Amino acid sequence: MNETGLWLEGAKRLPSPNCDARPPGVEVDLLVIHGISLPPGSFGGPWIERLFLNRLPGDRHPDFEPIHELRVSSHLLIRRDGGLIQFVPLNLRAWHAGVSCFQGRERCNDFSIGIELEGTDETPYTDRQYQVLAKVTGQIFHLFPAITNERIVGHSDIAPGRKTDPGPAFDWRKYRALLADKL
């Protein structure tokens, strides 16, 4: 880690303004897996990055108008081709979880790392995404030993009824099998 924060080697850096310091004394001990596509069901465009950088044009697509002024981010995004983009240093708080609760603790952004996978609840994620996700998770385990297999959840697990991602298309068994090979 340096004065600008904890950035993963090999990730493309696109620093988001949508982050801040974690509360003093809070240990990072949760990993949250998300799914995202913009517009919904479309892959490969610049729109996810623009959302996290506060540059999403509200008039470019009807689905952008209600969200273009949101101030959200994630630590990492894994594209369909396995491309890895980092928006927020891992030591800072990204604004990815929203209203959330894990094991009775609210405000999951305070103590978690968020990883977005480019996809939808119903579209199978790619093999390359699983491979990169497992590799990155191994790095996160090393950097934050309080995050364990049992402390990896989907956005739907910490915001039930509000969020559904990464959805039924996310193969938890496949991910955990790949992860076991990394440990």
Choose, from 69, 116, 118, 150, the residue flagged as catalytic. Answer: 116
State the burial class of residue 5 (Cβ atoms within 10 Å of its Cβ: 0-12, 13-18, 19+).
middle
DSSP 108-120: GGGGEEEEEEES-
- Residue 116 annotated in active site: yes
32, 165, 61, 124: CA torsion to nearest 10: 110
Q: Is 130 left (phi over 0), alpha (psi -120 to 50) or beta?
A: alpha
Catalytic residue list: 116
